Amino acid sequence: MSARTKARKRALDILFSADVRGDTVPQALAAAAERAVSEPERQASWLYAREIVDGVIDNSDEIDDEIETHSREWKLDRMPAVDRALLRIATWEILFNDEVPTGVAITEAVDLAKELSTEESSGFIHGVLARIERSS
């Protein structure tokens, strides 16, 4: 597993935990940062995970608007928490990170959905992200 794939999983953990616990994303990020200090072997994945989460925080309104616009009448609060987090990560990569090819962002999100979410989630996430890609 590449460092960026691991970083996406760490970012997913942070966004998901904030959502499920009712914490703010900055609170969850701060807690993860404290844990990261004691995990030097995971430093490479931590740096990109933090970049993702910071990007989601900084652009949350635009990211959520894009997701809701392209999710064909599915409101964010109706989506599973894992799907919301994956969509936010991939949407940030598509719209705000020129270093990641759009196809990679979509594939990574779909693969994580297959591993961590419902049977229907990977297809749903792929469709939403493909529509975001076409509109950007």
Instruction: Please give the single-letter amino acid code of residue 124.
Output: F
pLDDT band at 136 (very low <50, low <70, confident <90, very high): confident
- Give one DSSP letter per residue of 62-77, joined into a string: HHHHHHHHHTTS--GG
The pLDDT of residue 117 is above 90: yes
pLDDT of 133 reads: 97
pLDDT of 92 reads: 98
As for how many domains the chain has, the answer is 1
How far is 38 from 5, CA to CA, in rounded Å?
21
Question: What's the domain range around 64?
Answer: 3-135
pLDDT of 52 reads: 98
Tell me the per-residue pLDDT of 28-71, one tens digit each, with 9 for 90 and over. Answer: 999 998 888 887 777 778 999 999 999 999 999 999 999 999 99
Please state, rounded to an integer, the average pLDDT across all residues of the chain. 94
Between 105 and 136, residue with greater pLDDT: 105
CA dist 21 to 8, 9, 17, 18, 123, Å? 20, 18, 6, 5, 27
CATH number where 92 lies: 1.10.940.10
The pLDDT of residue 1 is above 80: no
Please name the residues in contact with 109: beta carbons below 8 A apart, sequence gap of 6 or more.
Answer: 8, 86, 87, 89, 90, 125, 126, 129
Neighbour-count burial of 129, counting CB atoms closer than 10 A to its CB (0-12 exposed, 13-18 middle, 19+ buried): buried
